Homo-oligomer: A and B are copies of this chain.
Amino acid sequence: MNEPTIREIREASERIRPFVHCTPVLTCSTLNRLCKAEIFFKCENFQKAGAFKIRGATNAVFALGEKEASQGVATHSSGNHAAALALAASWRGIKAYVVMPGNAPRIKRDAVANYGAEITFCKPTLEAREEGLARILDLTGATFIHPYNDYRVISGQGTAALELCKEIPDLDIIMTPVGGGGLLSGTAIAVSTISPQTRIIAAEPERADDAYRSLQAGRLLPANNPNTIADGLRTSLGDFTFPIIMRHVKDIFTVSEEGIVKAMRYIWERMKIIVEPSAAVPLGALLTKRQECSGKKLGIILSGGNVDLANLPWISHSE
């Protein structure tokens, strides 16, 4: 399979349209004032299964041939992709097998179970995930749908930026968080074609800055079991996503844990919407590097809203 182009992203958009939301774009005058910019938030936190991940998962699941599909799909994931794949599989009426780290947030584990997937828990390392997955693929003949290192998934994730650029056609900048790079590389392919004047900026936790370091070094430098509150961004770039990112993305901004929590709280307090820590990473980075975006028209993809409401980062607990 070749690297996707805007054509595959448009096909993905058609394929997933009956299932996923075209999410709303919100603005916030207080945040605009604070950043001295005009910011358009693409609300993937309102997306089915609570995150953009359903776009890639749905595209991958519905792109399968009948025979392949009948044996089910499988993945390893820190959570949102797993829930998305489980839901997409249920729409197609096929089985989903999920290998998850035991330390994934409870809300994400529950979601995967509720959508009817079969879960196998493993240690929170890439090795343990891959081992667990290999066993399952062997047993079931299911098709592996990687959370991001998969062209069908990348094409699906690119549909969020496609919608955003259609609604707000003259963005100076588009920002996404980067973990494994599925959202970022899909966004990069879409935006570099349909809105070539738009600068693509990624944002990453300081504590999981493998994409930043990889871009600097010009080669893939994996993250080493990073410890960040942005649980969706703990994964490393893959060999499918990295070349796309290398080609289209000039800047990756990093942000501290404190900056992530501050941005998350701003979004909750000012926009009255719930986003997970990973989704707050671009705004956090923007607040740190405010001068870079001053006077600009910015799109930010709010990647997801799956948070354990009983366990918020700004509240100390007695439990």
* Chain A residues packing against B (C-beta within 8 Å): 24, 26, 45-46, 50, 107, 265, 268-269, 271-275, 305, 309-310, 312, 314-319
Of A265, A268, A273, A309, most B-chain CB atoms within 10 Å: A273
Copies in the complex: 2
CA of A274 to CA of B26 in the docked complex: distance in angstroms? 14
Q: Check if A319 sits within 8 Å of B319, measured CB to CB.
A: no
Q: Closest CB-CB distance, A50 to chain B, in whole Å?
A: 7
Q: Is the interface of A mostly helix, strand, loop or mixed?
A: loop
Q: Check if A272 sits within 8 Å of B318, measured CB to CB.
A: no
Q: Closest CB-CB distance, A40 to chain B, in whole Å?
A: 15
Q: Check if A272 sits within 8 Å of B274, measured CB to CB.
A: yes
Q: Check if B314 sits within 8 Å of A309, measured CB to CB.
A: yes
Q: Chain B residues with Cβ under 8 A from A312's Cβ?
A: 309, 312, 315
CA of A314 to CA of B319 in the docked complex: distance in angstroms? 12
A316 touching B314 in the complex, CB below 8 Å, given contacts A50-B272, A269-B309: no
Q: Chain B residues with Cβ under 8 A from A45's Cβ?
A: 272
CA of A48 to CA of B318 in the docked complex: distance in angstroms? 35
Q: Closest CB-CB distance, A303 to chain B, in whole Å?
A: 12
7 cross-chain pairs, A with B, having the tightest CB-CB distances, nearest first = A272-B305, A318-B318, A272-B274, A45-B272, A316-B318, A273-B273, A46-B272
Q: Closest CB-CB distance, A179 to chain B, in whole Å?
A: 20
Q: Chain B residues with Cβ under 8 A from A107's Cβ?
A: 269
CA of A50 to CA of B272 in the docked complex: distance in angstroms? 8
Residue in contact with A309 in the complex, picked from B26, B265, B305, B319, CB distance below 8 Å: B265
CA of A24 to CA of B27 in the docked complex: distance in angstroms? 12
Q: Which chain B residue lies CB-closest to A29? A: B48
**Could you list some 25 contacts between A and B, CB below 8 A?**
A24-B24, A26-B46, A45-B272, A46-B271, A50-B272, A107-B269, A268-B309, A269-B309, A272-B274, A272-B275, A272-B305, A273-B273, A273-B274, A274-B274, A309-B312, A309-B314, A312-B312, A312-B315, A315-B315, A315-B317, A316-B317, A316-B318, A316-B319, A317-B317, A318-B318
Residue in contact with A310 in the complex, picked from B273, B274, B310, B315, CB distance below 8 Å: B315
